[in-house]
């Protein structure tokens, strides 16, 4: 634990907002140094469109060897300078600091679990640490899906649900931008000669909101809206961003079809950008690994709360989307992801790491006494 806490403090102190590629690269340097020292060799450093990812391959290189993928990310949502108002602290068994819960503690757990499990000639383990998860993994998605292909399971070190609940379902995400092009005119002299994009976008907001279906867990939420140029000009341009969450791929495609069929009510031009981002992590992809996790917990004398389904997405959505059994929420116990009260409970870290290691061994068929670092 002392070594894990030192590693976690170092990572929190290297701020890594996803959109700052230089900051993400600096964070990757620290992750590589910590992981290299713990695991015993340096990772592959993979830079895609300027974003830095890290990968360790441990164990057998044979393509038919059973393999587990550990997924973590080192980017956070917090801007540079957050440490001035949200410093790292460890007090009364609680860790605080930007990114500690989402998901730097889980990353440290993954590194130490991989280091302890070591090399096994008949099984393989991949630790993939990405740098753009909080943006929707635009550069790392293909790599995640490729690494997951053929794995026995993918284990995602995102933070747990309340009380340590593992996550057996996540909604899929879609993102849309509806753009309206009208015609400008002087709002006082000749407004009738304009085509008001703001009026049209207001109409479209009402239309897309009706695409939601709460009975099956589908939410369609207009978020950012922009329109107009000056207070005395009929606006020629307007847009709205829309966040969509759905529990099934069928629902994602239903909503996508509705977006593609949008038409104008005023004669202004309607353009739809974006689409489906992450497929859902459906319970059918998780239930087998969840049963094994519960059995491992029983062997360890741990009590796991009931697993949960959540609205937020993760890279586990991608691994499940390519047909790989996936279990999420194996990381820290605490709360406050993306919020000022972000925190981690220290006492839960050892048991959660033991659960992770036991589950990896179980999935790979490794004897509990066999750790060949």
Q: Which residues are catalytically annotated?
A: 75, 133
**Ordered strands of the 124-130 beta sheet:** 44-48, 51-59, 124-130, 67-73, 153-156, 326-327
Q: Are 45 and 104 in contact (CB under 8 A)?
A: no
326 has which bridge partners? 154
Q: Are 138 and 80 in contact (CB under 8 A)?
A: no
Of 22, 23, 29, 55, nearest in space to 143 by CA: 55
Q: In angstroms, how far is CA 66 from the centroid of its own chain?
A: 25
Token pair recorded at residue 121? 């000639």
Longest Cα pair distance anywhere in the chain, in angstroms?
A: 84
55 has which bridge partners? 44, 128
- 263: phi then psi, degrees, rounded to nearest 5: -130, 160
| Ramachandran region, residue 136 (left: φ > 0; alpha: ψ -120 to 50; beta: rest) | left
Q: Are 241 and 176 in contact (CB under 8 A)?
A: yes
Q: Are 33 and 106 in contact (CB under 8 A)?
A: no
């Amino acid at each position: 634990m002392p070594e894990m806490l030192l590693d976690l403090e170092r990572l929190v102190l290297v701020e890594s907002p996803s959109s700052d590629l230089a900051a993400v690269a600096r964070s990757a340097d620290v992750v590589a140094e910590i992981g290299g020292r713990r695991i015993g060799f340096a990772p592959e450093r993979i830079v895609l469109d300027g974003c830095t990812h890290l990968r360790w391959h441990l164990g057998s290189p044979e393509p038919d060897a059973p393999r587990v993928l550990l997924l973590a990310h080192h980017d956070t949502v917090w801007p540079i300078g957050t440490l001035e108002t949200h410093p790292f602290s460890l007090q009364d068994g609680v860790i605080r600091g930007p990114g500690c819960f989402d998901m730097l503690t889980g990353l440290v757990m993954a590194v130490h679990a991989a280091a302890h499990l070591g090399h096994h000639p008949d099984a393989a383990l991949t630790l993939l640490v990405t740098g753009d998860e909080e943006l929707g993994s635009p550069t790392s998605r293909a790599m995640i899906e490729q690494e997951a292909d053929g794995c026995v399971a993918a284990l995602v070190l995102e933070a747990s649900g309340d009380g340590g609940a593992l996550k057996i379902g996540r909604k899929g995400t879609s993102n849309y931008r509806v753009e309206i092009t009208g015609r400008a005119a002087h709002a006082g002299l000749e407004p009738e000669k304009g085509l008001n994009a703001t009026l049209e976008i207001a109409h479209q907001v009402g239309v897309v909101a009706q695409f939601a279906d709460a009975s099956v867990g589908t939410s369609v939420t207009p978020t950012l809206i922009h329109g107009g140029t000056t207070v005395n000009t009929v606006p020629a341009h307007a847009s709205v961003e829309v966040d969509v969450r759905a529990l099934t791929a069928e629902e994602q495609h239903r909503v996508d079809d509705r977006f593609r069929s949008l038409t104008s009510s005023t004669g202004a031009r309607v353009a739809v950008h974006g689409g489906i981002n992450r497929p859902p992590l459906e319970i059918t992809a998780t239930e087998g690994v969840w049963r094994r996790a519960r059995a491992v917990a029983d062997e360890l004398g741990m009590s796991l709360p009931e697993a949960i389904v959540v609205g937020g997405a993760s890279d586990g959505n991608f691994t499940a989307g390519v047909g790989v059994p996936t279990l999420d929420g194996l990381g820290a116990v605490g709360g406050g992801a993306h919020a000022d009260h972000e925190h981690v409970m220290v006492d839960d870290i050892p048991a959660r790491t033991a659960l992770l290691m036991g589950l990896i061994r179980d999935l790979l068929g490794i004897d509990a006494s066999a750790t060949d670092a």
